[in-house]
Amino acid sequence: MSGRLAGRAGQASAGLAGLGGPVSGRTLTGEAGAAGSVDPVLLEIIAGSLASIEREVETAIGRTARSPMIRDAHDFRAGIHDRLLRKLTGRSYSALVHPVVRDFPIETMRPGDVFFHNDVYLSEGGIGHLPDLCVTVPVFHDGAAGLEAPRGPGREAGPRASDGPGLDAGPGAPDGPRVVAFVQAFGHHDDIGGSVPGSMPSHATSVFEEGLMVPPIRLWDAGTPNRAVLTIMTRNSRMPSSLAADLDAECAACLMGARRLAELFDRYGRHAVEACFDAIVAGTTRTFRREILAKIPAGSWTWEDYAEHDGVDEPRLHRQRITLTKTGEDEPGGPKLIMDFAGTGPQAKGPINHCANYADGNFLAKWLAPILRNLADTPERMAELDVNEGVVDLIEMRFPPPGTLLTPVFPAPTNARTFVILRLLGVLAGVLAKAVDGRMPADQETIRYTGVYGTDARGEPYLMREVLGGGSGGRYYADGEDTIHVVPDSRNLPAEFSEARFPFLVERLGLAVDSGGPGQFRGGLGYDKQIRMLADGYFMSIADRSILSCWGVNGGRAGRSFSVTIDPGGPAEREVEALADAEFVPAGTLIRIRTTGGGGWGDPLDRDIELVVRDVAWGKVSRENAAADYGVVITGDPGLPAGEPGASPRSAAAAAGAGAGAGAAVGLAADIPATLRLRERMRAARPGRRPFFDRGPGYARLAGMASAEVDWL
Provide the pLDDT for residue 175: 67
Q: Are 468 and 595 in contact (CB under 8 A)?
A: yes
Q: What's the mean pLDDT in 311-320?
A: 97
Q: Pairing state of beta strands 337-340 and 395-398?
A: parallel
Residue 640 has pLDDT above 60, yes or no: no
DSSP 8-state symbol, 549: P
Q: Which tens digits make up the pLDDT trace of 162-182?
A: 334 445 543 334 568 999 999
Residue 481 has pLDDT above 80, yes or no: yes
Comparing 162-166, 297-301, 327-331, the range with the smallest average pLDDT is: 162-166
CA dihedral 147, 151, 156, 162 (to 10 degrees): -90
Residue 650 has pLDDT above 50, yes or no: no
Residue 648 has pLDDT above 90, yes or no: no
Q: Rounded mean pLDDT of the chain?
A: 89
Provide the pLDDT for residue 447: 84
Assign residue 179 a region: left if phi > 0, alpha if psi is -120 to 50, beta otherwise? beta
Provide the pLDDT for residue 33: 47
Comparing 9-13, 132-136, 266-270, 335-339, the range with the smallest average pLDDT is: 9-13
Segments making up each domain of the chain, as ranges: 38-148+175-287, 441-601, 604-711
Q: Give the whole-angstrom CA distance, residue 44 versus residue 46.
A: 6
Comparison of pLDDT for 365 and 654, the residue scoring more: 365
Provide the pLDDT for residue 192: 97
Q: Give the whole-angstrom CA distance, residue 149 versus residue 153.
A: 13
Comparing 28-37, 390-399, 548-557, the range with the smallest average pLDDT is: 28-37
Give residue 479's Cα distance to chain centre: 20
Q: pTM for this one?
A: 0.90
Please name the helix (run of DSSP H) or strand (run of DSSP E) that holds residue 79, with its range, or none.
strand 76-82
User: In sequence order, what E strands does 468-575 have?
Assistant: 504-511, 527-533, 537-542, 552-553, 563-566, 574-575
Does 197 sit behind a cis peptide bond, omega within 30 degrees of 0 on the bond before it?
Answer: no
Q: What's the mean pLDDT in 124-141?
A: 97
Query: Which amino acid does the sequence have at 546?
Result: S
Q: What's the mean pLDDT in 569-592?
A: 97
Residue 642 has pLDDT above 80, yes or no: no
Q: Are 216 and 12 in contact (CB under 8 A)?
A: no
Provide the pLDDT for residue 145: 40
Query: Which amino acid does the sequence have at 505?
Result: L
184 phi and psi angles, rounded to 5 deg: -140, 150
Q: Which tens digits make up the pLDDT trace of 657-688?
A: 333 356 655 689 999 999 999 999 999 999 98
Compute how many other C-beta atoms are within 10 angstroms of the C-beta atom of residue 249: 24
Compute how many other C-beta atoms are within 10 angstroms of the C-beta atom of residue 68: 22
Q: Which tens digits make up the pLDDT trace of 187-224?
A: 999 999 999 999 999 999 999 999 999 999 999 999 99
Q: What's the mean pLDDT in 378-395?
A: 95
Q: What's the mean pLDDT in 440-453?
A: 93
Assign residue 454 a region: left if phi > 0, alpha if psi is -120 to 50, beta otherwise? left
Provide the pLDDT for residue 143: 66
Q: Give the whole-angstrom CA distance, residue 252 versus residue 531.
A: 36
CA dihedral 482, 483, 489, 494 (to 10 degrees): -130
Q: Measuring CA to CA, which residue among 512, 515, 510, 474 is closest to residue 492?
A: 510
Q: Are 321 and 94 in contact (CB under 8 A)?
A: no
Provide the pLDDT for residue 486: 79
Provide the pLDDT for residue 330: 85
Provide the pLDDT for residue 661: 56
